[in-house]
A = this chain, B = another copy of it.
């Protein structure tokens, strides 16, 4: 059984648990999400489905994404832009993101000492963590070699998040 079908099955099971059904639209979305992209936007998905001449409305896309998030199969993340991105979760691999502000590339990483340190901080603050989200913005190796600099330094240096956003 190809990996994608396993995900479709997982979603069907999740839906069944709450008396909901795996419709063609939902299955097609799961296939699309798990077959190809990793980080994606809702609108991108809408467009991709349209390309494949599967007409799935925006409402259904958002509704299905919500279900997938509830099921734990998909996560909503901020990648430094002013709207959500989504990523599928395979296994239970938590990870964080390095985001290149010149080419937009996103590098994932997982670092146990970093996670551990966060747990220690929470403990010290008597805070019970459920989830965290770390984005590091900067310039990736390839862009640095190409002599790229993080946009106008005066804009990026002190800016909160929106470095990517500036690229539009």
Chain A residues engaging chain B, CB cutoff 8 angstroms: 69-72, 75-78, 80, 82-84, 86-87, 89, 98, 100-101, 107, 109, 111, 113-114, 117-118, 121-122, 125-141, 144, 150, 154-163
Q: With contacts A111-B121, A117-B117 known, is A156 near B136, CB below 8 A?
A: no
> Closest residue to A78 on the B side, CB-wise?
B78
Q: With contacts A117-B114, A132-B136 known, is A141 near B127, CB below 8 A?
A: yes
Of A101, A133, A154, most B-chain CB atoms within 10 Å: A133
Chain B residues, Cβ within 8 Å of A126? 140-141, 144
Q: How far is the CB of A34 from chain B (nearest CB, A)?
A: 16
Cβ A70 vs Cβ B131 within 8 A: no
Q: With contacts A125-B98, A161-B77 known, is A130 near B156, CB below 8 A?
A: yes
> Closest residue to A129 on the B side, CB-wise?
B138
Cβ B136 vs Cβ A129 within 8 A: yes
A98–B144 Cα distance when bound, in Å, is: 32
A103–B144 Cα distance when bound, in Å, is: 42
Cβ B141 vs Cβ A137 within 8 A: no
Chain B residues, Cβ within 8 Å of A150? 128, 130
